[in-house]
């Protein structure tokens, strides 16, 4: 009688283990969208709740970094910026790079940082890395508005920037940046459950990766001997297309953009598969 009663009961939700790493329940993830919004809000408030300047740091960080780049790489090192105002050139790269690096860094520790939550309550584990990407979109929006203020100033009063149709690629470029950070972050997060040293290696590797990305130099300044190496970085086409659209100077090709899109989607698939596999047993190793 008890078994018959259980069979006839209708439940609002049935929680069951995944049978395959290829199984992703998008419907379940969508049903937890309220949790995603809550996590985004918590992340934003917790980060700056006990700071003096609060969200003003969103503006100060790119401004101070831009000033540093102008002095060191522009004035002292004498690295050209293709006749683009140095402030705009560096600020464009920094705005995109901050979103990618922040998304990658914080996603890479999602298992370690949230082990206490994972061990107490059930929800789709992908919600947490997704909330980090969305939360960083808020920061990106603030820093992008800062870039637009400087850009409008040079566009209206200086006239030495030349926006064009490639500016329409901006939403796609931002999505690609978020996916790259998410995919790489999930892979590293899965690996750090067993190999904690990777978290230390990541902070060093991100600094090196920035120099392999045209943030402080245009691709036009790279000789043909090493240009292919820079273009092998999927971030290169994204940064150059962004600059070309807003500043009128940059390197764009459909082949390079197609490579960046294909690479990004591949990393997302690989990262999701690795994340799904590790989430089943990571509590035993964290």
Answer for the pair 173, 242: CB distance below 8 angstroms, yes or no: yes
- How many domains is the chain partitioned into structurally? 1
The per-residue DSSP string of 141-187 comes to HHHHHHHHHHHHHIIIII------GGGGGHHHHHHHHHHHHHHHHHH
Asked, for residue 103, whether it belongs to a domain, the answer is: yes
- Residue 204 counted as domain residue: yes
- Predicted TM-score (pTM) above 0.75: yes
Q: Give the lowest-confidence range in 47-56, 102-111, 253-262.
A: 47-56
The answer to whether residue 125 sits within a structural domain is yes
Mean pLDDT of 10-14: 58
Residue-wise pLDDT for 204-240, tens only, equals: 888 888 888 999 999 888 888 888 888 899 999 999 9
Domain that holds residue 114: 33-43+54-284
pLDDT tens-digit map of 129-143: 888 899 899 889 989
State mean pLDDT over 55-66: 84
* Residue 1 within a domain: no
Tell me the average pLDDT of the chain: 83
The pLDDT value given to residue 222: 85
Reported as a single tens digit per residue, the pLDDT across 230-282 is 889 999 999 999 999 999 988 888 999 999 999 999 999 998 888 887 776 65
In sequence order, which residues have a C-beta less than 8 Å from that of residue 199 and are 6 or more positions away? 108, 109, 112, 188, 192
49: in domain: no
Structure tokens at 88: 């705009």
Q: Do residues 242 and 248 make contact, with C-beta atoms less than 8 angstroms apart?
A: no
Q: Within a domain: residue 9?
A: no
Output DSSP code: residue 110. Answer: H
pLDDT > 70? residue 77: yes
């Amino acid at each position: 009688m008890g078994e018959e009663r259980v069979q006839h009961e209708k439940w609002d939700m049935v929680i069951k283990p995944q049978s395959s790493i290829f199984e992703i329940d998008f419907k379940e993830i969508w049903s937890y969208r309220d949790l995603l919004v809550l996590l985004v809000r918590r992340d934003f408030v917790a980060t700056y709740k006990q700071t003096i300047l609060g969200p003003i740091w969103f503006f100060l960080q790119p401004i101070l970094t831009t000033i540093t780049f102008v002095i060191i790489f522009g004035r002292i090192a004498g690295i050209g910026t293709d006749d683009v105002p140095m402030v705009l050139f560096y600020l464009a790269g920094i705005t995109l790079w901050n979103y990618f690096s922040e998304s990658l860094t914080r996603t890479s520790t999602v298992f370690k940082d949230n082990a206490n939550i994972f061990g107490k309550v059930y929800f789709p584990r992908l919600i947490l890395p997704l909330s980090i990407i969305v939360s960083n979109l808020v920061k990106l929006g603030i820093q992008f508005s800062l870039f637009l203020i400087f850009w409008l100033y040079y566009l209206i009063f200086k006239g030495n920037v030349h926006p064009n149709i490639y500016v329409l690629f901006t939403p796609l470029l931002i999505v690609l940046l978020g996916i790259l950070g998410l995919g790489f972050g999930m892979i590293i997060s899965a690996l750090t459950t067993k190999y904690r040293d990777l978290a230390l290696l990541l902070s060093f590797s991100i600094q090196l990766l920035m120099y392999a990305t045209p943030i402080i130099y245009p691709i036009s300044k790279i000789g043909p001997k090493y240009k292919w190496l820079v273009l092998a970085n999927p971030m290169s086409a994204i940064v150059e297309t962004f600059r070309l659209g807003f500043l009128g100077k940059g390197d764009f090709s459909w082949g390079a953009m197609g490579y960046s899109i294909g690479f990004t989607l591949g990393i997302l698939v690989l990262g999701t598969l690795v994340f799904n596999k590790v989430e089943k047993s990571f509590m035993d190793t964290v």
